[in-house]
Amino acid sequence: MKSQSVVTELRRKIFTQIAKVAYESENVASDIEAIPYLITPDEVPKYRESIYRERQIASERVRLAMGLSLRPANKPVHITAGISRTTIAEKYYEPPLMQVIPSACDKCHDNEYVVSDQCRNCVAHACIKACPRGAISIVNGKSFIDQSKCIKCGKCKASCPYDAIAHHVRPCADACGVKAISSDEYGRARIDVDKCVACGQCMSACPFGAIADKSQIFQLIQAIKQGDEVVAAVAPAIIGQFGVNVTPGKMKSALLALGFKDVYEVAVGADVGCIAEAHHYVNQVATGNLPFLFTSCCPAWAVLVKKYFPDLADEVSEELTPMVATARSIKVNRPNARVVFIGPCAAKKLEASRTTVRSYVDFVITFEELAGMFDAKGIVLEEMEELPVNIQATGAGRGYACAGGVSHAIESCINEYFPGTPVKIQHAEGLADCRKILTLAKNGKLNGYMIEGMGCPGGCVAGVGTIIPPEKAKIAVDNTVKQSAASVPPKEMEDLAEKLSKMD
């Protein structure tokens, strides 16, 4: 399981060390203190200009991985301050979910046009002619942009025949589809928690690894160690994440080796959801009783609607998300089970903790965090025993992992159970495109449509907790969908959907 970048490799090292402490330590506070020195053991820095900064950043990552918030920069706070609150066998969460590590942020320029060394001081001086504010002059034989006059229009860049003008943007801010990232008084990135929907795209975009979310792996392992009936509910996006040779049977074997008691397929919950939403569309939207249907499986999309388009919030489907439907179905048969959702999404950590709809999910971890747990226990997945797996999900449910898969699954159910019913679909991926679709819907341009929104471009396979590139993950999921024994769930699952929705 190779990491996609040095940044993800560093994150994984932190998760591995936290998991080791959780599984093995008899002196948690002391061993937590040692982790930054395990990450940077030598006197020569590997990633920053000094070992002291590297260890400072690692210390903050350790706190986030324990579920704690960052330390204030202007007060003497110990790395393990508050750790007694997190050394428990219950879900622990201190808001906000996403945080910028100040010592890791490189204070990237945000929306700035700069002349590079490619400038040839050409005779035409098209950049000077194009600038409407006279912000460009020739200095030392090169074009120079006076930032105090520049209005960021980009006309100079568009006019340069040598592409010698660069547009610098803060990567995290550029990735944020809701414009929740600005600069603080020191030029570091700052996340406006009132605007943030916890999609985590900023975390993926930052090349310095300065943004991270909070983890629950330590608390999960405590629950496993004390003998609780901890079961895994695995999202369909897991296909291919841990290697092409890691079959569902080997994955089950590896999860049992970590201490899980059983493994369930969340795609079954997706099957429950897609048939329920098919009935919803046919009975309510196609008849004109409701203007449109917003699918609800992506928590970032659902929060986006409620935060930015509150007058449309009632149109978000009230059907259970795959995670919640699966957790509830597990609890029906195993009321004492502790359900752990394992998936690609950071925002699911908030969905599992919401108070408006009880999720029945006890912990949420990402594939990336799960990889750290495997590393901590020295588990090599390719070498694990091939165990029998009870495959129940259909191609429809498994397809939820890719953008467009949710609406396609619902449409397939409609075609199967309500043949002849016309279906109109729009789907958006990435929060910026989601906002455009919602604006169209608000203006009455999409009446009669089923509208699928995915916070991550590409869908769940591009979630911030994934391990492999989205394009490879999509191929793996598509192959699994094609190989599924059934393409759509049986109509009888509507009864199960109704039963689960009535659980308090």
Amino acid residing at 469: P
What is the pLDDT, as a whole number, of residue 354? 87
- The model's confidence at residue 498, banded by pLDDT at 50, 70 and 90, is confident
Q: What's the chain's Rg over C-alpha atoms?
A: 25
The CATH class of 112-168 is alpha beta
Compute how many other C-beta atoms are within 10 angstroms of the C-beta atom of residue 48: 17
Q: What is the pLDDT of residues 166-216, one digit of tens each?
A: 999 999 999 999 999 999 999 999 999 999 999 999 999 999 999 999 999
What is the pLDDT, as a whole number, of residue 402? 97
Region 91-110: what's the mean pLDDT?
A: 94
What is the pLDDT, as a whole number, of residue 153? 97
Largest pairwise CA distance in the chain: 78
Which residues have CB under 8 Å from 276's CB, separation 6+?
319, 320, 494, 497, 498, 501
- pLDDT exceeds 80 at position 489: yes
Compute how many other C-beta atoms are within 10 angstroms of the C-beta atom of residue 289: 8
Compute how many other C-beta atoms are within 10 angstroms of the C-beta atom of residue 491: 13
- pLDDT exceeds 60 at position 2: no
Read off the tokens for 476: 């793996």
Contact 70, 62 (CB under 8 A): no
If you write DSSP's letter for every residue of 47-87 in order, what string do you get? SSS-HHHHHHHHHHHHHHHTTPPPPPTTS---TTTTGGGTS
H-helix or E-strand spanning residue 258: helix 248-258
Amino acid residing at 394: T
How many residues in the chain?
504
CA–CA separation, 344 and 401 (whole Å): 9
Nearest residue to 144 (alpha-carbon basis) of 158, 153, 131, 132: 131
Kindly state the percentage of the chain with pLDDT values over 70. Answer: 99
Q: What is the pLDDT of residues 149-158, one digit of tens each?
A: 999 999 999 9
For the domain spanning 6-107+172-218, the CATH number is: 3.30.70.20
Please state the domain extents for the chain.
6-107+172-218, 112-168, 229-493
- pLDDT exceeds 80 at position 322: yes
Which residues have CB under 8 Å from 445's CB, separation 6+?
none
Mean model confidence pLDDT for the chain? 94
- The model's confidence at residue 407, banded by pLDDT at 50, 70 and 90, is very high
Region 233-243: what's the mean pLDDT?
A: 97
If you write DSSP's letter for every residue of 197-254 in order, what string do you get? ----HHHHH-TT--EEE---HHHHHHHHHTT--EEEEE-GGGTTTT-TT--HHHHHHH
Q: What is the pLDDT of residues 252-298, one digit of tens each?
A: 999 999 999 999 999 999 999 999 999 999 999 999 999 999 987 99
346 compared with 357, residue with greater pLDDT: 346
Q: Would you say the CATH fold of 112-168 matches that of 6-107+172-218?
A: yes
Measured CA to CA in angstroms, residue 487 lies from 74, 236, 410, 459, 494 at distances of 58, 15, 11, 20, 16
What is the pLDDT, as a whole number, of residue 164? 97
The answer to whether the pTM exceeds 0.75 is yes
What is the pLDDT, as a whole number, of residue 3? 58
What is the pLDDT, as a whole number, of residue 406? 96
What is the pLDDT, as a whole number, of residue 127? 98
